[in-house]
Amino acid sequence: MAVSQMQRVRIFAHNSHRAFLVKDLQDLELIHIIKVSEEIEPSIESSLEGEVRIKVRNIQNDLTRLQSTIDYLAGFEPKKGLFKGGNPVFSSQEYENIAKDAENGKWQSVCDECQSMQDQLARLTNLEGRLQSEKENLSHWSGLDAPVEAIRDTEKTAIRIGTIPSSTYDLLISEIKSSGILLSVEVVGRSINEVGIVVIFLKSDEQQVLPILAKNGFSVVNLPITKGKVSERIKQIEKEYSEISVQREDIKKRSYQLAQHNPKLMATYDYLREILDQETIKTSFTNTEYTFMIDGWIKKDDVPKLNEIISKKYNELFVEVSDPTDEDEPPVDIQNGFITQPYKMVTQLYSLPKYREIDPTRLFAPFLTLGFAIALTDAGYGIFVAILSLIIAKRSSGGMKNLFKILFVAGLTTVVVGALTGGWFGIPLERLPQFLQNIVVLDPNKSQMLFLGLIVALGYIQILLGFIVKMYIFLKEKEWVGAFLDQFAWILIMVLGPVLIILKRGDASAGIGNVLLGIILLSALMILIFSGREIKNPAGRLGTGFFELYSRVSGTFGDSLSYMRLFALGLATGIIAKAINDIAGMLWGSPGGNIGAIAVLLFGHPFNIVINSLGGFIHSTRLQFVEFFTKFYEGGGEEFKPFKKEKVYITVSELEKSRTA
């Protein structure tokens, strides 16, 4: 209900003002700039876009280097606690100084050094991998005492080095002994599946020896080294391992030293992002040889501020402001009160309203919050959710901050609902302190049908609100027929129907009941006759009316029953909480059971809170999307995104003191 009014703004300026004007507009954060499709002078457009493209590519390369350095140094920054740290904060003056350093390229030396260290680490990792592989290969031959270059055939003897499966080694030895061949087999290494051997035999016996070796799975191996002893090479590899560790430690120490520059590198990154946005937005301008035009949207309330700052600062500049035409579809910015503003996030999850549409945020916020509270129905859990959400909200930003603001309000509401229904960490009502028992209005465990009825009634009221809002929209658009014949008639049925049922169950006079019944029947007849008023055929018109009336009745009934899921969640939360307490109670007092009971309580209740909070939020949100929005809301609006400074890593504060860690 609070869609900000927009106006179309066009700024015409001389080309000499381009860079300064873009920066000023980014600082002001007032205009949602749009790209104009038509090109006044294509050759000029192409030339300017070419220049911008080169600048953009250079800035993107710088950002890539900075991103790599920031990610690398992040691993060497002091670890931050769950509720400590946050984005580095710089004062405005500090940020200006960093911007000057960024223009002078002072950040590049740190990036170059970090890139060099990353390259060294990659080289050391590759070297370590090769050494590890070589050591594993050599370990099979650690028993080979002779230098590798000495292991070669002589005039009368032949030497073969290789492996044989462990399962056939004994068979090989047995067969060699039975053959009577003069042959030496020396084991120089073993693994789980293989035996490393050196076989020495006379060359004259080669035709007999080789078939025996092949038969038993002998495989010739070329040693990884060509000279020296295997044992000496293994020692050399271990020495190289030590040298790699020393080099890694030196790089690590230097990285810890450079990590202190990371907050400033983050600020530099954000500054260059601003410059990138300034260059990119220029492609949305319409250009001539001497002038350019910026086209966009601005909130109506911000127009005086724009005129005051821009028009006074620039002489060769003209600002044109106009109201949107019927064909225009301006971007949407929805503004709500302090409490309901975070709920804008939920609206955005579904879809923003169109510019001329009603903002549903204030309408659904109370129902979403109350639905969450009913899904938990435990005051103790509500306190836990509220405190945790408040802490996280203070350490978060953007959508995450809004989510936990919603959960904070929902947690407080849960405390109220839980106290009124006697829910305190699953403790039975009769075991609660007397003052807590005194404030209980309804015990869901004893009055389940009443609890269910109240929840369904809540859903019925919200659905009724949806039809009332739809009627309001029709009236606003001067659709009188639709407002009264379609919406008002059905609203009468929804309002008077329950009243009639209550009167019938009470002692009210029959006359009042008959009057109400007559109004209801007349309203139903209006829907029956006029729902298909655009259809000329009487039978088709009446059929459409019957179908519409049936759809309204069955749809409203079904939508109202959908709220029963909150009833199920509320009971489930209490039942699980009581079960956790019962399990802990059974463990308490048994040998070693006290620790187990405490563990059950400390893990069980938080788990129950998380699971049912998640279920409560999801189901309450679903009810808004499926049961409520469908009565009046269309959505599909474009979000109002003013050209502004987008910070990724840091926060700039107007205070002089900064926090960079």
pLDDT of residue 537: 75
pLDDT of residue 385: 95
To the nearest whole number, what is the mean pLDDT of the chain? 87
- Is the pLDDT at 656 greater than 60, yes or no? no
pLDDT of residue 42: 55
pLDDT of residue 142: 74
**147 Cβ contact list (under 8 Å, min separation 6):** 227, 228, 229
Q: What is the mean pLDDT of residues 140-148?
A: 76
- Using only C-alpha atoms, the chain has a radius of gyration, in whole angstroms, of 39
Q: Label residues 170-198 b or e (16+ Cβ within 10 Å = b).
A: eebeeebeeeeeebebeebbbeeebbbbb
Contact (CB, 8 A) for 621 and 51: no
Reported as a single tens digit per residue, the pLDDT across 222-262 is 777 767 787 788 888 889 989 999 999 999 999 999 999 99
Contact (CB, 8 A) for 59 and 279: yes
Strands 31-34 and 317-322: unpaired
The neighbouring-strand residues paired with 154 are: none
How far, in Å, CA of 619 to CA of 459, rounded? 13
pLDDT of residue 661: 44
Q: What is the mean pLDDT of residues 352-365?
A: 93
In CATH terms, is domain 142-222 a member of 3.20.20.140? no
- The three-class DSSP label of residue 163 is strand
The neighbouring-strand residues paired with 322 are: 8
- Is the pLDDT at 313 greater than 90, yes or no? no
The neighbouring-strand residues paired with 653 are: 91
Closest CA to 506 of 517, 498, 495, 518: 498
Q: What is the mean pLDDT of residues 541-545?
A: 81
Q: What is the mean pLDDT of residues 623-637?
A: 92
pLDDT of residue 362: 92
Q: What is the mean pLDDT of residues 483-504?
A: 87
Closest CA to 224 of 234, 216, 214, 215: 234
All structural domains of the chain with their residue ranges: 142-222, 341-631
pLDDT of residue 47: 59
- Is the pLDDT at 455 greater than 90, yes or no? yes
- Is the pLDDT at 196 greater than 80, yes or no? yes
Would you give the DSSP letter of residue 316? S
The neighbouring-strand residues paired with 10 are: 295, 320
The neighbouring-strand residues paired with 293 are: 12, 286
- The three-class DSSP label of residue 34 is strand
- Is the pLDDT at 152 greater than 60, yes or no? yes
- Is the pLDDT at 80 greater than 80, yes or no? no
Reported as a single tens digit per residue, the pLDDT across 25-50 is 999 999 999 987 554 555 555 556 67
Strand 183-190's sheet: what is its strand order? 183-190, 194-202, 157-165, 219-220
Token pair belonging to 528: 């029956």
Q: Label residues 96-118 b or e (16+ Cβ within 10 Å = b).
A: eebbeebeeeebeebbeebeebb
Token pair belonging to 192: 């789980």
- Is the pLDDT at 275 greater than 90, yes or no? yes
Q: What is the mean pLDDT of residues 597-601?
A: 90
**330 Cβ contact list (under 8 Å, min separation 6):** 6, 8, 297, 324, 355, 640
| Rounded-to-10 torsion of CA 292, 297, 300, 305 | -40
Model confidence band, residue 660 (pLDDT cutoffs 50, 70, 90): low
The neighbouring-strand residues paired with 291 are: 14
Contact (CB, 8 A) for 616 and 369: no
Neighbours of 60 (CB within 10 A): 14
- The three-class DSSP label of residue 438 is helix
- Is the pLDDT at 195 greater than 90, yes or no? no
- Is the pLDDT at 94 greater than 70, yes or no? yes
pLDDT of residue 3: 87
Q: What is the mean pLDDT of residues 531-536?
A: 75
pLDDT of residue 509: 63
pLDDT of residue 72: 94
Token pair belonging to 311: 């028009």
- Is the pLDDT at 502 greater than 90, yes or no? no
pLDDT of residue 567: 92
User: What HEC string does 7-24 produce?
Assistant: EEEEEEEEHHHHHHHHHH
Model confidence band, residue 110 (pLDDT cutoffs 50, 70, 90): very high
